[in-house]
Amino acid sequence: MSLNNIISTSLSGLFTNQAAIRVTANNISNVNTENYARVRVNTEAAVVQGTSAGVNVASIERVVDEFLETALRTSISNTAEYTAQREFHDRFQGILGDPASDSSLAARLDQFYSSIADLTLNPADVLRRQQTISEMQSFLDQVKEVQIQVQNLRSEASQQVSETVQSINEELQRIDALNPLIVRQQALGQETGGLEGQLARSLANLSENIDIRVSRAESGQVTVTTQSGYPLVDSSLSQLSYDAPGIVSSGTFFPAVTINRVDSDTMAPTSSLVDLTPNLRSGRLAGLIEMRDSQLVDLSLAIGEMSARLADEFNAIQNAFVAVPPPNSMTGEPTLVDGLHQTNFSGMVSFAVVDDQNRLVSNTTVDFDGAPPTDFDALITQVNTALGGTGTLALTDGVMSFTAANSTDGVVISDDAAAPSDRAGRGFSHFFGMNNLITANKPGIYETGIDGTEEHLLTAGGTMNFQVTNSGGSEIDTVTVNVTGNTYNEMVTELNNVSGLGAYFTFALNSNGELTYSENAGFNDISLKVQSDTTESGNTGLSFTRIFGIGDTFTVDAARDLQVRDDIQNDPNLMALGSFDASVAVGAVALTSGDQRGALELQNLETKLVSFSSAGELKAGDVTLSQYVARILGNAGLMAQRAENFEEDNQALQQEVFQRNADVSGVNMDEELANLVIFQNAYNAAARILSSVQELYDSLLNAV
């Protein structure tokens, strides 16, 4: 070998080992850098015309296991998803309070029942009545507050979705900026460890917020997609968008998380927006959307169902009994009926007027079985004629009222003890809400008692706009339903039109006049939301969707503005605890102060089985009010425990995968220091050879 070849070989050794020393030193300096993967120098023999010419740097690469890196990113996404859910469940548990405390929902209800038991001992005692009303209002206030806080949590989740989207966009921009730098460095054969470390950190941060899949080209450029394959960063950059609503209620429509391609320099959109929600599998973003659109909604539905049944049970008793003395006038809640509608009642009910001494002034009984009025107009005429001007029953725009002519007299509506009036499971006074104890924003129960052949009285031209969404909250379709025909059956037929909602749901009116709907085959876990409704039944102010409570909003809002009626709070004597004696003659006492039968009926609610419909994760069933409250608390605890368990399981998996990945990619100080010694010695050896050749050249030149 010539001296020149020896020089060339030794120089290649110098340069190669110099590069290896630089890479090793960089590994050592980043030993504590998170997500840093060690870098190694791959060498190859330099061969010129079949003769060895030293050594070259073949490549400088990160030491990674692609399978482990993918598994780590997946575990990070899964952990972040359940961490987000656990955080919100922890906050909701804080709102509910300690189940063993005196301020929990269950304890508040027990306190109310205790006050009722005390009231039964002396129903005429105003202080005991006031205490009962106070305990009831305290319980209702807590129910309202819990429901308000659920909506506040949904609002917070929505805001965090916006913040998470911003974080995702920042990481996507960073990855897009790193890609050309890595490609350039690799093309020049230069070390890319620092850039790769920055890229690894961005990918780790990104995987925490959204599930991703990463692939790498030979040039070094990475392509990032969702696990479902939707592109985030490839030859161009994509950005997410989300506009969080300012105020959140049960009827809020949250916009979709959308994505579109943008110009990397100006961020100007270069493609149309696409709903990204169906492509989300895990990550913090998916966890927040799940809480906002599913789990918190399930909790609010259960609270709304409980509120609706509780109010209905208490109102049933308040309407079945009579205040002593009775009020001069009673006005009901808006209903869908008008004077020409069939009454659809069975049984018997009495309409009476009593004086200020509780003596009967007039009384008439309507027998809906033996001699039913043809319609409500006929009923009103029959009652008013029989009362002879002492009292007036009226129906105006769906609101029933009953007023005594004399300002000192009181009015009474009382069901027959043996054959009480009944329409869809409610007595006459209860159906019209003539003497309700509890009021709410929405009734929450929609058993209307209508016959499908009755006229709906909806104004022609009215429309209803519905949104059909999947389990992930993404829109499947929007459907407009127009007012059709004259009867409720014709409207049900229009709802079942297969070119509209009928493609997704099947609607039907049951025997109680309740409009039910179920998912068609192939459309599991879809939801129906009301976007708008311009219909109105007559002049009642009630829309078609409000009449039948279509969508979750009406159930949830049964817990909104829940309270004991204002005039009863101001005058506890208006609590209906007495029983009307319809058998007495005119002039005789028909009501007795101190009657405890109404109080005893309220007390019996503690053990009465109530039929609850399915709401959220709670299935339909017959349980007491206290048991249902316990089910709500138990379900909330179960959901919280489930999120925590999933978080812990995924954290354990993440730690295991992280450790295995670190074993492959992590920096081992002992190994790196040993390599540093080896490369330094090799560098010194190459330098020594070069020095020896220099000495040989000097000797030859001096010899000449």
pLDDT tens across 147-199, in order?
Answer: 999 999 999 999 999 999 999 999 999 999 999 998 888 787 776 767 877 88
Query: Where does residue 490 rank: exposed (0-12), middle (13-18), buried (19+ CB within 10 A)?
Result: middle
Per DSSP, 406 falls in state S
- Specify the 3-state DSSP secondary structure of 235: coil
Q: Are 537 and 469 in contact (CB under 8 A)?
A: no
Sign of CA dihedral 528, 529, 532, 535: positive
Which tens digit of pLDDT belongs to each residue from 461-479?
999 999 999 877 788 999 9
Place of tokens 């069975």: 346
Contact residues for 250 (Cβ-Cβ < 8 A; gap 6+): 151, 300, 552, 553, 556, 557, 560
Q: Would you say 267 and 239 are in contact if contact means Cβ atoms under 8 Å apart? A: yes
Task: Locate 603 and state its tokens.
Answer: 């007390």
Q: Would you give the end-to-end CA distance of the chain in angstroms?
A: 22
Q: CA–CA distance from 499 to each of 460, 480, 484, 516 (Å)?
A: 21, 10, 15, 19
Q: Where are the alpha helices (DSSP H) in 470-570?
A: 488-495, 544-548, 552-556, 566-570
pLDDT tens column, 248-273: 999 888 999 999 999 998 999 999 99
Stated length of the chain: 704
Rounded to the nearest 10°, the torsion over CA 671, 677, 681, 684 is 130
The residues facing 233 across adjacent strands are 224, 237
Share of the chain above pLDDT 70, in %: 95
Over 60: is that where the pLDDT of 704 sits? no
Q: Could you give the count of Cα atoms lying within 13 Å of 556 in the half-sphere of its Cβ?
A: 23
Please report the pLDDT score of residue 618 as a whole number. Answer: 94
pLDDT on residue 59 = 64
Partnered with residue 400 across adjacent β-strands are: 395
Percent of the chain with pLDDT over 90: 71
User: Please, which pLDDT band fits residue 63 given cuts at 50, 70 and 90?
Assistant: low
Which SS3 state, helix, strand or coil, does residue 358 take?
A: coil
For 572, the token pair is 């506890």
Beta strands 399-404 and 329-331, pairing class: antiparallel
Predicted confidence band at 674 (pLDDT cuts at 50, 70, 90)? Answer: confident
Averaged pLDDT score across all residues of the chain? 90
Give dist(CA 12, CA 98) in Å, integer: 73
Quote the radius of gyration of the chain (alpha carbons, Å).
Answer: 38
Q: What SS3 class is residue 255?
A: coil
Rounded to whole angstroms, how far apart are CA atoms 563 and 252?
24
CA quadruple 577, 578, 582, 586: dihedral positive or negative?
negative
Burial of 642 (0-12, 13-18, 19+ CB in 10 A): middle
Mean pLDDT across the stretch 31-42?
71
User: Dihedral through CA 597, CA 599, CA 602, CA 608, nearest 10?
Assistant: -50
By 3-state DSSP, what share of the chain in percent is helix, strand and coil, each rounded to 5? 45, 20, 35
Phi, psi dihedrals of residue 240, rounded to the nearest 5°: -95, 155
- Work out the average pLDDT over 512-540: 92
CA 263 to chain centre: 35
Per-residue pLDDT, averaged over 281-302, amounts to 95
Cβ within 8 Å of residue 603, ≥6 positions away = 113, 116, 117, 120
CB-based burial label for 387 (10 Å; 0-12, 13-18, 19+): buried
AA identity, residue 328:
N
Pairing of strands 399-404, 391-396: antiparallel
Residue 397, Ramachandran bin (φ over 0: left; ψ between -120 and 50: alpha; else beta)? left
Give the DSSP H/E element, type plus range, for residue 352. strand 348-354
> What digits encode the pLDDT tens for the residues 597-633?
999 999 999 999 999 999 999 999 999 999 999 999 9
Q: Which pTM was predicted?
A: 0.88
Query: Which residue is it, tokens 């808006």?
Result: 334
Place of tokens 């009480």: 420
pLDDT level of residue 60 (50, 70, 90 thresholds)? low
Q: Token pair for residue 397?
A: 């725009």
- Is 664:658 a contact under the CB 8 Å cutoff? no
DSSP symbol at 336: S
Is a pLDDT exceeding 80 seen at residue 672? no
Residues 6+ apart with CB under 8 A from 237: 172, 173, 176, 261, 262, 263, 264
Cα gap 281→342, rounded to integer Å: 53
Predicted local distance difference test score (pLDDT) of residue 186: 78
Judged against a pLDDT cut of 80, whether residue 53 lies above it is answered with: no
Domain boundaries, given as residue ranges, for the chain: 3-63+666-703, 66-327+573-648, 463-548
What pLDDT band is residue 671 in, cutting at 50, 70 and 90? confident
Lateral strand order in the sheet of 391-396 = 329-331, 399-404, 391-396
Residue 547, CA distances (Å) to 310, 336, 493, 504 in order: 20, 7, 17, 21
Is pLDDT of 142 > 90? yes
Positions of E strands within 409-455: 410-415, 438-439
The first and second tokens of residue 324, run together, are: 């002593």
Give φ, ψ of 81 to 5 degrees: -60, -50
